[in-house]
Amino acid sequence: MWEKLKVSARLPFQSLWAKLIFSFLLVVLAGGLASSIIGVRMVGNTIIAEAQKKVRHDLLSAWMIYQERLSRIQDVLHLTAKRDLIIPSLFGRDTEVLRRELEKVRIEYGLDVLTIVDRKGFVLARSRPPYRAGDYQGNDELVRRALKKEMVASTEIIPQQELAKEGEELVRQAYMEFVPTPKAKDRPETKQTSGMMLKAAVPILDVNDNVLGVLYGGTLLNRNYEIVDKIKDIVFKGERYKGKDTGTATIFQWDVRISTNVKNRSGLRAIETRVARDVYDQVLENGRAWIDRAFVVDDWYIAAYEPIRNIKGEIIGILYAGTLEEPYTDLRSNVIYSFFGIAFLGLVLVLFLAYFITRSITRPIGELAKATEVIAGGDFSHEVAIQSRDEVGHLAVSFNRMTMTLKATMEELYMVNTKLQDLNRHYLEMVGFITHELNQPMGVLKGFLILLQDESLGPLASPKQKQAVSTMLRNVDALINMIQKYLQLGRIESGRMEINKTRVSVFREALAPVLEDEKKQLDMRKMEVVLENEEVFRKAEAVADPVLLRIVFSNLIGNALKYGRQGGRIWCGMRDESGECLFYIKNEGRGIPAGKLAMVFEKFARLEGELERHRRGTGLGLFNAKVIVEKHGGRIWAESEEGAWANFLFTLPKEEKRS
């Protein structure tokens, strides 16, 4: 029954414990993985967002430093323009004095250019060798505006020839030969000769506010690292990470780095390199700020770029502030590692806990299973000792109660069974006793009745007397027959049946005596016994107890006599089959219904319609025959065609089976 219960296990584990652990693990892994991914993403995004915010802020600070530098130039010019020496010298066109004075101011305030222009726009004096003068600067936008009394300052592109006018060194300072840069936008040019300058121009006014001239000056940004380094120092406080500056700033002239503290691989300032294509498109072409990670020279930065415009509002370059991405990515990696570390530790902890929890759950179940096995084996004294108050505890209590009930029931059953066996034994003993006791008087009765019938004791007076004696004799015979069957049963059921097997001639020792005994009965019912295959039958031998074998034949012939058709035939025969002999007793008559063929061998079996008094049997003959045949290792069965014949067949082994 148990083998039929197939557990549809999808998990490849046999024990409840492993299944639970596996389920726990699955849940924790799924949950942990999901939360880790979400957490890592969130943390990563937050870190990057924070970095970008900081960089945006840093660019703003950079702009302030840049603008402050520009205003300082303007302030210097403004103050110089008001110097007492300048205006008279201007009036007097004393260029020598102007040149000397301006050069002092230029050097003192660290300007690259400081030039004075008359009110018509012609250069009066320059403060730098070779001190060229006389050229027209009135078409310079700043100078033009200053002549109109404006004070202006801005970043401007200065072409090479103009730089040359201000000083040959400036041409060399401004000259840039592009260094091939990965990710940069392709340009046909390979060099750049112009320069980018922080430039201011202020009008020089007399007491009546008339314009006497213009003072302009500035600082060339190319290869001038003052601003970018100041930005680095002030904004990024000079922080370093793994030997690299974390904070960097750059000034681009168009897309070329002209002033920077971003280092190339050789550790030199990466001037003459160019900006990445994405930034080029966004900032230079579209004039929008760029805040994102960017590949700067040869490292990733979180960067902010904004366009630098000249006085006319045209984009001429870019101001950049950026911070190395590596610290942030490292931070993010650390966070991720920590996350997974924590998740792993959690997993281990959960496994550990799961182990104990599942153990505490499954152990009682395991004990219960073991107890079930013990009890299934028939030991009802076993008690499950589980103290928990949960369902398993309830189960254990119920189980114990069930065991007790079972035990009580089994004991009761045992007692009842013992009682029944006693009763049965008593019954059999009684049957044995009664039949045995009946046997003797029946023998006496039968003998006297025969003597009466034969008129050995004197003639019977009337036919009625003869009739009475004959009927009595028939009934006594039936009784004796019945008694014999009960005596057989008593022997069989009490287990006292001894089987003394020997090699016997079946015909001579079993069938022939029976036929001889039943001769009178056969004659009375005008039935004929036909021996089939007689030659072989007479020689047939089997290993059997001859006395018991005779009972079998007697019962089967008796059965055929009783149920066979009056005046019909009885066929007795045998067939030699491999390893065994098959015997059969077949009679003509009503036969047996197909459904009752097996039933006829049951104890006290009676067929319906078996109503005729003189035919009523004990229901023991075939049963006794069956028990005996089976004890000999043979089989017995019945075949029949209803209304025509019934055939009883049995087998006996030819050789003793040695077991």
In the Cβ-directed half-sphere of 30, how many Cα atoms lie within 13 Å?
6
Let me know: does 259 contact 271? Beta carbons within 8 Å. yes
User: Among 190, 208, 387, 440, which residue interacts with another protein (rule: CB under 8 A)?
Assistant: 440
* Per-residue burial over 73-96, b = 16 or more CB atoms within 10 Å of its CB, e = otherwise: bbebbbebbeeeebbebbeeebbe
In the complex with another protein, which residue's Cβ is closer, 48 or 438?
Answer: 438
169 belongs to the binding site for another protein (CB under 8 A): no
495 belongs to the binding site for another protein (CB under 8 A): no
User: Among 480, 536, 582, 597, which residue interacts with another protein (rule: CB under 8 A)?
Assistant: 480
Q: How many helices (H) and strands (E) does the chain have?
A: 17, 21
Question: Nearest 5°: CA angle at 421, between 550 and 434?
Answer: 55
For 190, 289, 315, 439, 523, the CA distances from 443, given in Å and listed in that order, are 147, 136, 147, 6, 22
Residue type, 244: K
Q: What is the DSSP pairing of strand 528-531 with strand 569-577?
A: parallel
Q: What are the backbone angles phi and psi of residue 135, rounded to the nearest 5°?
A: -80, 160
500 belongs to the binding site for another protein (CB under 8 A): yes
Let me know: does 575 contact 533? Beta carbons within 8 Å. yes
Let me know: does 218 contact 111? Beta carbons within 8 Å. yes
255: closest CA among 181, 310, 148, 152?
Answer: 181
Cβ neighbours for 486, distance < 8 A, ≥ 6 positions apart = 431, 432, 435, 618, 620
Tell me the closest approach of the beta carbon of residue 399 to another protein, in angstroms. 54
357 belongs to the binding site for another protein (CB under 8 A): no
User: Among 113, 153, 308, 487, which residue interacts with another protein (rule: CB under 8 A)?
Assistant: 487
User: Among 137, 488, 647, 651, which residue interacts with another protein (rule: CB under 8 A)?
Assistant: 488
Tell me the closest approach of the beta carbon of residue 441 to another protein, in angstroms. 7
User: Among 547, 582, 597, 607, which residue interacts with another protein (rule: CB under 8 A)?
Assistant: 547
In the complex with another protein, which residue's Cβ is closer, 165 or 485?
Answer: 485
Residues in contact with another protein, total (CB under 8 A)? Answer: 35
How far is residue 186 CA from its own chain's centroid?
Answer: 54
Q: Which positions from 447 through 466 interact with another protein, judged by CB under 8 A?
A: 447-448, 450-451, 454, 456-457
508 belongs to the binding site for another protein (CB under 8 A): yes
491 belongs to the binding site for another protein (CB under 8 A): yes
User: Among 36, 439, 494, 533, which residue interacts with another protein (rule: CB under 8 A)?
Assistant: 439
Tell me the closest approach of the beta carbon of residue 442 to another protein, in angstroms. 6
561 belongs to the binding site for another protein (CB under 8 A): no
In the complex with another protein, which residue's Cβ is closer, 65 or 515?
Answer: 515
493 belongs to the binding site for another protein (CB under 8 A): no
Tell me the closest approach of the beta carbon of residue 551 to another protein, in angstroms. 6
* Bond from prior residue into 130 cis (ω within 30 degrees of 0): yes
Burial class (CB in 10 A: 0-12, 13-18, 19+), 230: middle
423 belongs to the binding site for another protein (CB under 8 A): no
588 belongs to the binding site for another protein (CB under 8 A): no
Q: Name the one range near another protein by CB under 8 A: 2-10, 71-79, 255-263, 550-558.
A: 550-558
Q: Using CB under 8 A as the criterion, which residues of the chain lie in contact with another protein when the complex forms?
A: 436, 439-444, 446-448, 450-451, 454, 456-457, 480, 483-484, 487-488, 491, 498, 500, 508-509, 512-514, 517, 546-548, 550-551, 554
